[in-house]
Amino acid sequence: MRVLITGFDKFGGESINPSSLCVNSLPDVIDNIEIKKITLPTVFKDSSRVLEENIDSFSPNIVICIGQAGGRSKITPERIAINIDDARIPDNIGNSPIDEVIRKDGENAYFSTLPIKAIVDELNKNNIPSAISNTAGTFVCNHIMYESLYLASKKYPNIKAGFIHIPYIEEQVKDKPNMPFMKKEDIIIALELIIKTSVNYFDKEDTKITGGLEH
């Protein structure tokens, strides 16, 4: 089994991006699962190009994209990606799309094909706080989740794909009082569990547990 896992490069004024930092700290092999780790540019269209190039060259069974959601206290698998780029802030080369469709021939939205409820259950069982998120935003994180699922739908039909948001790590909150964070070591453990769970459920239905919200 092959897993392609991606993080993002540094964004804005941040000195690090924990998504790429933690992704690149993973081993190359986990339980006979071959892992390819790549860092995507935090740029709308460039991130899509790099992702597709690596899917084409590596031929993964599973694509797991990782990004940061500052302010969240849990690891949050995303349920859905929507076909829109609407940037409140510019990406790393100044792109600020407003209400732009990502793919004209794509669906309005794609649901994650990762076992998101099994992932949440496994992380919580291992004392790593986790919950399903029902919005990936409209910035580059949603963009790359949408693109991974679009590619899986249109070009690579045997691939399972999805997106996971992680919190800040401790180094990022030294000047942010009361801001939630998670230890880097715990995020790395979580990513290993996410990979293993995704492989274990590759040919199985997701766990039937609630992941709903009232608002």
143 catalytically annotated: no
22 catalytically annotated: no
CB-based contacts of 186, cutoff 8 Å, min separation 6: 128
Helix axes 184-200, 116-125, angle to 10 degrees: 130
Q: Which amino acid is at 9?
A: D
**Residue among 22, 65, 122, 141 flagged as catalytic:** 141
* Distance between CA atoms of residues 126 and 120, nearest Å: 10
Neighbours of 170 (CB within 10 A): 11
Q: Are 16 and 99 in contact (CB under 8 A)?
A: no
- Closest C-alpha among 103, 33, 87, 41 to residue 67: 41
**Residue among 78, 122, 143, 147 flagged as catalytic:** 78
* Distance between CA atoms of residues 87 and 110, nearest Å: 20
11: tokens are: 């964004």
CB-based contacts of 98, cutoff 8 Å, min separation 6: 86, 87
175: tokens are: 């000047």
65 catalytically annotated: no
**Residue among 65, 143, 147, 165 flagged as catalytic:** 165
* Distance between CA atoms of residues 131 and 72, nearest Å: 10
Catalytic center residues: 78, 141, 165
